[in-house]
Structure 1
């Protein structure tokens, strides 16, 4: 992508009573399409599902998110307005109600990204 890409990352855990398969299926077939209706100005909406792997020194990876959702923006004004909204306001009631079907909402974390890529070759 030429120029700047502005990104908001959402780190989220599934509800403990839902299987990984059911969580991913619901997110893709129900929640993502609903969220897209509220996502004007988002140029990419990516869900990165985490498959934890053990580490030889620290053991199991049990405290991380189940999904990292990326919201990409090409327009800085829309990015800043979206960031201000999601860090100071609750989502619309329809989104909050649907999130309760699959997420542990207390686990939500939000971050932004500045990328630096090393050259290849």
Structure 2
């Protein structure tokens, strides 16, 4: 197997104040994801990674994290990745998406990052 390259866009998001993690995850999965699917053409894989803070080994503190979910959009080719990245970093999402996000995301804290992963087949 040859080495493989993957392109991803990460969306780091915080829930709206007053929303529990259970409410946040339920709304995201059952309302927001279905709403956004038609706008996600060209995305090969879509992951939501919900974060749960854990105690620090030395201090024992378990503080709330700056983000509650990391959403990953995976792309099979660089051109689609670049096109999608260009769109989401320069264009305001459709009104129905923005209005839905206002219900459960703390939008001012949302951040976007990119990842290029290179995988080496270690079985050879």
| TM-score (normalised: structure 2) | 0.87
State how 1:20-35 maps to structure 2 within 5 Å: 20-35=21-36
Q: Which stretches in structure 1 are left out of the alignment for 5+ residues?
A: none
Q: Which runs of 4+ in 1 moved over 3 A?
A: 116-121
Residue 74 (structure 2) aligns with: 72
1:50 corresponds to:
51
When Rg is computed on C-alpha atoms for both structures, the one with the higher figure is 2
Measure the CA separation in 2 of the matches of 1:91 and 1:15: 18
Q: 1:17, CA displacement in angstroms?
A: 1.1
Q: Can you give the 5+ residue segments of structure 2 that lack an aligned partner in the other structure?
A: none
**Cα distance in 2 between the residues matched to 1:86 and 1:61:** 31
**Corresponding residue number in structure 2 for 1:10:** 11
Tell me what 1:88 maps to: 90
**Taking structure 1 as the reference length, what is the TM-score of the superposition?**
0.89
Q: What CA distance in whole angstroms lies between the structure 1 residues aligned with 2:22 and 2:88?
A: 27
Give the superposed CA RMSD. Answer: 1.9
More strand by share: 2
CA separation in 1, counterparts of 2:27 and 2:76?
28
Structure 1 pair 117–54 and aligned structure 2 pair: CA distance change class (3 A): farther
Query: 1:31: Cα distance to partner?
Result: 0.2
Match of 1:102 in 2: 104
Q: 1:32-75 deviations in whole A, cap 9, x for unaligned?
A: 11111100000001100001112134633424210000000112
